[in-house]
Structure 1
């Protein structure tokens, strides 16, 4: 930052002599001396940064001087970090965030220093406020959505450095249940761009996540990047944010799976994780989510082959005690679940997961003879099959082929219930798939339509 001609700024009315005196009393001095000076009387410093009855803030005076504003924003962040009592005094002012929130929208350029520095100060001050009160405070509830919206613009940028700043500031303020709830309410702005990066790292696109379920990617790498060129530091900070959010697992767990398919995604990332620090966060998040949502998420974890991956990880002698504890807890949870599983349960779990693979039941004539009627009586499973076949699965066509296989088997084994499948639109969809570009989809759909044709003359 270029040297500021302070005396000239005073003469131009960009700040007062008193404000300059206050700045110089803490500028370029040792941390301990700065702390002692401010603690003797915090009010002048709080007024300097946030204004008050005794006068305007320096931000108000220096509105046209970007260099001074940048300098003060950096100084302000340092001061509240070094002297927590100053943060307390600032928070006692009327609307302490107002001037800084206004700076977030002062530029449309994400690389502009002023909004970036204002966001840094706000993240730290709001985090201090959140941790110093056991109850949600109105000023925080009002400010957080605006800060989150700005930070999301950083995460959505193509610059990894800006992305990392945005993610780190998100992590800074996720210190309370209220902050996490607000974050979750804005999930299209906050959560979605984080998962776009996670999917890029896993090498999977949304709704076409073939790699998530096949386990095709490498288990470990000496590289410090995940897939898609996503750096380890950015990845760690994103995983840290999701881990913080996972402590509200009952609130966020179902939505994270429904919107982002977090369980198979995290299983894939765990398979790829190059460092123990990312492995630790992945395990801890899965533990939090599955523990609070056993009924819905454990079946999905089983279908995504988490148990086999945990067995693999157990042979690697993790050094982190927390990671080992989470690994053991997950293993025990999944083991208890799978012990009571029947073949029908495994099939139902796979369908409910929203993704199909060529697991043994699909090709087993015995399975269909014994379970086809039960599947149709379940009612939810045929609806889920209709939902699965309604997607295009551009990069994972085998899902459509498997679904056609299953539909054909249901018609063959329980022909009297084929009307149920027709009402769900499955006959029309299967006929559409006869012209699909993928050979396996065409073949399986042709066989399924053939089962229907066997009974066409009975009507």
Structure 2
């Protein structure tokens, strides 16, 4: 085969040893074509054409099949589409034949260099179906996902069929988006749901990896992103994968890429930069950029941070984002990144402009900004302000504002279940610091004791004297003694 007739790198080919092995198993299995004809799943005429595709010397190599397909793309496309359509309408779904047909189609879509041919398989499918090639694939996807059962011996067959069908639908949707019928948005919703339920939230790493790959392609289309971000649970699952410390580098890159596409939307960026649930996003972007070996990861991480600034709703919002960048040691990280060598000129420009912005803003940052950010992110640290007596005298009025609103936010972290579930160490640090801070506030403004008693905080602190953590126990004891002494 001529090397110019196939792609060295697919525009969208599923990655990973897991899926590669499944595909190889299907390509190399002996096929009893006549049994499919006898079962009424395939016509004699179509069988002859399909048999010529799979009767190649090197069955393991998909390029051998492509050698046959490119000789007459229109004919092979029609036979493939008609056979898949017939199979989807057949009440007794033949899983073996379905797998064989889908793998042939997968190979044709991902290994043929479409730039060298007047018409591609995708083009032919749209012609044959009069602009709507999706129904047979939707039928197959729905039937395999609904029939999938962990106790079913056909479960593996259903999985490979569903993932190949999802790949084919994704390829059709993203290759020629301008030709899509209006109903295609419903299909996109169906695909996002399939990816979320069956792949992204799976306990199997291989499934999650495949799900992220499908997401990356779908989210490359702007109109599809609106559907995705309308489901916050989808976004949360994506972020959980991205922040997982145990995932492989390629999976992290793909998850960062997906998030990057979403941050062009101002509402999504606003959500990610203001909602405490996503407080790890900004620090993580800086960490990914700082730790990354691959330039593409640095590029995306910095681009996400730039998008946060560019999509801010007003100057106040932008300043708050800049403040968060600074409080997560952003200036130092950007300075370190500038000193490294990069081939991407746009990345260099972004780093320089970000450095100038942060460097100009650092002067306006105060100790109280740092303290307030700790509370907002629910990650308290033993930063200098906590043990600085002057800090408490200078800022006590800010604690009193809005009926002690900031104090109430501080106290709420004593028993924050979300922190306890995800990071017990951080919960103990929070509890120690909160007890200490309350003791400082009591010394500066003894009237706070009435508020503490009203809120039931005194009981909480006394309970913490029995904490399994020695630091929490010590700080709770000190604060309890102060509360008792000032109540006499």
Give me the TM-score of the superposition, normalised by structure 1.
Answer: 0.79
Distance 1:147 1:108 in 2: 20
Indicate whether 1:370 and 2:416 are aligned: no
Specify the alignment match of 1:117 in structure 2: 164
Preserved contact between residue 119 and residue 147 of structure 1 (Cα < 8 Å): no
Specify the alignment match of 1:429 in structure 2: 460
More deviation in 402-411 or 140-149?
140-149
How far 1:369 moved relative to its partner? 0.8
Distance 2:72 2:424 in 1: 65
Indicate how the Cα distance of structure 1 residues 304 and 33 shifts in structure 2: closer, same or farther if over 3 A, else same: same
Specify the alignment match of 2:105 in structure 1: 76
Preserved contact between residue 88 and residue 137 of structure 2 (Cα < 8 Å): no
Indicate whether 1:132 and 2:178 are aligned: yes
Preserved contact between residue 126 and residue 140 of structure 1 (Cα < 8 Å): no
More deviation in 301-310 or 327-336?
327-336
How far 1:42 moved relative to its partner? 7.0
Distance 2:125 2:455 in 1: 60
How far 1:94 moved relative to its partner? 7.6
Preserved contact between residue 414 and residue 434 of structure 2 (Cα < 8 Å): yes
More deviation in 325-334 or 64-73?
325-334
Q: Of 471, 478, 487, which aligns to 1:440? A: 471
Could you list the runs of 5+ residues in structure 2 that have no partner in the other structure?
Answer: 1-25, 57-63, 113-119, 313-317
Preserved contact between residue 434 and residue 446 of structure 1 (Cα < 8 Å): yes
Q: Of 116, 126, 140, which aligns to 1:88? A: 126
Alignment of 1:395-434 (within 5 A): 395-396=425-426, 397-434=428-465
More deviation in 68-77 or 151-160?
151-160
Preserved contact between residue 288 and residue 297 of structure 2 (Cα < 8 Å): no
Alignment of 1:213-292 (within 5 A): 228=246, 230-255=247-272, 258-260=276-278, 261-292=280-311
Preserved contact between residue 368 and residue 395 of structure 2 (Cα < 8 Å): yes
Indicate how the Cα distance of structure 1 residues 292 and 419 shifts in structure 2: closer, same or farther if over 3 A, else same: farther
Specify the alignment match of 2:41 in structure 1: 14
- Size of the aligned set, in residue pairs, is 421
Indicate how the Cα distance of structure 1 residues 431 and 329 shifts in structure 2: closer, same or farther if over 3 A, else same: farther
1:56-104 per-position Cα deviation (integer Å, ceiling 9, x unaligned): x333349443221011112333445651313433442584543233233
Preserved contact between residue 299 and residue 353 of structure 1 (Cα < 8 Å): no
Alignment of 1:82-231 (within 5 A): 82=112, 83=120, 84-89=122-127, 90=129, 91-92=131-132, 95=135, 97-102=137-142, 103-109=144-150, 111=156, 112-128=159-175, 131-132=177-178, 137-188=182-233, 190-201=234-245, 228=246, 230-231=247-248
**Partner SS state of residue 425, structure 2:** coil
Preserved contact between residue 10 and residue 17 of structure 1 (Cα < 8 Å): yes
Indicate how the Cα distance of structure 1 residues 259 and 128 shifts in structure 2: closer, same or farther if over 3 A, else same: farther
Specify the alignment match of 1:394 in structure 2: 424
Distance 1:375 1:355 in 2: 18
Indicate how the Cα distance of structure 1 residues 104 and 236 shifts in structure 2: closer, same or farther if over 3 A, else same: same
**Partner SS state of residue 264, structure 2:** helix
How far 1:114 moved relative to its partner? 1.5
Give me the TM-score of the superposition, normalised by structure 2.
Answer: 0.75
More deviation in 77-86 or 279-288?
77-86
Indicate how the Cα distance of structure 1 residues 275 and 444 shifts in structure 2: closer, same or farther if over 3 A, else same: same
Could you list the runs of 5+ residues in structure 1 that have no partner in the other structure?
Answer: 52-56, 202-227
Distance 1:121 1:62 in 2: 22
More deviation in 378-387 or 357-366?
378-387
Preserved contact between residue 263 and residue 286 of structure 1 (Cα < 8 Å): yes
Preserved contact between residue 430 and residue 445 of structure 1 (Cα < 8 Å): yes
How far 1:427 moved relative to its partner? 3.0
Indicate how the Cα distance of structure 1 residues 361 and 179 shifts in structure 2: closer, same or farther if over 3 A, else same: same
1:293-313 per-position Cα deviation (integer Å, ceiling 9, x unaligned): 435543333322222222222
Distance 1:329 1:161 in 2: 39
Preserved contact between residue 192 and residue 228 of structure 2 (Cα < 8 Å): no
Specify the alignment match of 1:347 in structure 2: 371
Alpha-carbon RMSD across the aligned residues, in angstroms, is 3.3
Specify the alignment match of 1:204 in structure 2: none
More deviation in 71-80 or 90-99?
90-99
How far 1:275 moved relative to its partner? 2.8
Indicate how the Cα distance of structure 1 residues 425 and 122 shifts in structure 2: closer, same or farther if over 3 A, else same: farther
Specify the alignment match of 2:16 in structure 1: none
**Partner SS state of residue 442, structure 1:** helix
Specify the alignment match of 2:4 in structure 1: none
Indicate how the Cα distance of structure 1 residues 388 and 302 shifts in structure 2: closer, same or farther if over 3 A, else same: farther
